Amino acid sequence: MARSVLGVAVIGAGMAGRAHAAGYRSAATVFGEGLADVRLVAVADANGDLATGAARRFGYERAETSWQSVAGADDIDVVSVVVANTLHREIVEGLLAAGKHVLCEKPYTLHPADVDEAFDAAESRGLILSEAFMWRHHPQADALRALLPEIGQLQLIRATFAFVLEATENIRLRADLEGGALADVGCYTVSGARLLAGEDPAEVVGYATLGPSGVDLRFSGLLRFPSGATGMLDVNWLTPAKRRQLTVVGEEGMFELDYLTQRLTFTRAAAGGPDLIAGYAPTFAGDVAELPVANAEPLAAELDAFLTVVRDGGRPVVDVEDGLWAVAIATSLLKAAAGGQPIDLSDFCARLTNA
Ligand SMILES: NC(=O)c1ccc[n+]([C@@H]2O[C@H](COP(=O)([O-])OP(=O)(O)OC[C@H]3O[C@@H](n4cnc5c(N)ncnc54)[C@H](O)[C@@H]3O)[C@@H](O)[C@H]2O)c1
């Protein structure tokens, strides 16, 4: 049984860590009744100035310079792990061993067996472990999943995550930290395509364009699903305007979700097609209708969902299967690109079990 007021810590006070620290602060102050009560206990970063600055700015009680101090603290129940990907495993394992609930930034790892191990460790201790696939917490993503049956047999899923990465010094560009566009943001497209397909891909193929540091700056991936649907992934750090989109085409029409504008639209395949979509009565302009789904701040929604499942129990929105398949698909895509050959995933689970 969780404490009534959950003690919160954030490990990593870089770009995304500060967003988590600020996000828990909103959960503590803005949200109303029914949501978990939190106490903002600690921000930890190997860089003490960053930890101190974030703790002061976002109202945390103390700053720490090691994750071990967070693991050893009795007043901390839940921890966000927001450091470079190659550090996730050691820190998450240490926190779980110390009895903390953990929300780990994506991707947890590029090693599928590690995901299994960590989720097993959490389950055996009655702890919540979840991975921060933030797109799952857009209200439009929920609406899209609920409305999918409206478009009949799925044909095509297109997932795009693109922007310009301007920095030259960045953990994402470091091969030793398992950087690269596919690992960094491609995991969103992989997770989106798989979830919308409602099944796991049987085969993947990919093409990567590598930058000077040896990591992919551009990745194009194809997923073949057993039902016949195809997933097309477009991930890159070169597109001069940000794009974060998920499109799904079925026999009866197409949904398009834009994460940046939080717009969800439906385009019917033919005049006279559906005009009342699963309880929504959108207004069509020609054959296109915008679905009236209220916006939400996705990080706040993600932290809220995590805190609620810690307090009340149940399965996190992103569970072991999501984490496992996302990394399995991403690593297979990287392998397919490196070897210039498609990779058969139909016996992936069996291979993982024997790994
Ligand atoms: N969900 C999102 O929208 C989103 C956005 C950006 C990044 N991320 C993820 O967040 C993670 C961090 O990315 P970032 O851009 O914030 O990186 P960053 O480089 O800005 O920050 C990482 C921080 O970790 C600290 N650090 C390094 N080793 C540490 C240790 N042993 N203990 C404690 N702190 C340590 C560094 O000093 C640095 O401040 C990555 O996994 C990334 O994929 C998620």
Residue type, 264: L
From the list 150, 152, 140, the residue with the least C-alpha distance to 278 is: 150
- Does the annotation count 106 as an active-site position? yes
pLDDT of residue 219: 98
Which residue's alpha carbon is nearest to atom 7 within ligand 1?
16
pLDDT of residue 34: 72
Is ligand 1 within 6 A of the CB of residue 131? no
pLDDT tier, 31 (very low <50, low <70, confident <90, very high otherwise): low
Is ligand 1 within 6 A of the CB of residue 139? no
Given ligand 1 and candidates 10, 11, 15, which is best to mutate, with the most ligand atoms within 8 Å of its CB? 15
The CB-side HSE value for 103 (13 A sphere, CA atoms) comes to 30
Q: What percent of the chain has pLDDT over 70?
A: 96
pLDDT of residue 181: 96
Residue from 100, 106, 242, 335 carrying the catalytic annotation: 106
The CB-side HSE value for 294 (13 A sphere, CA atoms) comes to 3
Distance 240 CA to ligand 1 centre (A): 24
Which residue's alpha carbon is nearest to atom 9 within ligand 1?
105
Block residue for tokens 């399995």: 328
Q: Which residues contact 331 (CB under 8 A, 6 or more apart)?
A: 110, 111, 112
Give the position, in ligand 1's atom list, of the atom nearest the Cα of 133. 1
What does the DSSP 8-state code read for residue 13?
-
- Residue 175's CB is within 10 A of a number of other CB atoms, namely 13
Is ligand 1 within 6 A of the CB of residue 45? yes
pLDDT of residue 349: 55
Distance between alpha carbon 4 and the CA centroid of its chain, in Å?
27
Q: Name the fold adopted by 5-132.
A: Rossmann fold (3.40.50)
Distance 49 CA to ligand 1 centre (A): 15
pLDDT tier, 259 (very low <50, low <70, confident <90, very high otherwise): very high
Give residue limits of the domains in the chain.
5-132, 136-296+329-336
Give the position, in ligand 1's atom list, of the atom nearest the Cα of 44. 33
pTM higher than 0.85 for the full model? yes
Is ligand 1 within 6 A of the CB of residue 269? no
Is ligand 1 within 6 A of the CB of residue 46? yes
Which residue's alpha carbon is nearest to atom 5 within ligand 1?
16
pLDDT of 86-113, one tens digit each? 999 999 999 999 999 999 999 999 998 8
pLDDT tier, 27 (very low <50, low <70, confident <90, very high otherwise): confident
Report d(CA 289, CA 295) in Å as an integer. Answer: 17
pLDDT at 352 over 80: no
Is ligand 1 within 6 A of the CB of residue 12? yes
Is ligand 1 within 6 A of the CB of residue 307? no
> Which H or E run includes 216?
strand 216-224
Would you give the end-to-end CA distance of the chain in angstroms? 35
pLDDT of residue 4: 85
pLDDT at 351 over 70: no
Mean predicted confidence (pLDDT) in 33-62: 94
CATH code, 136-296+329-336: 3.30.360.10
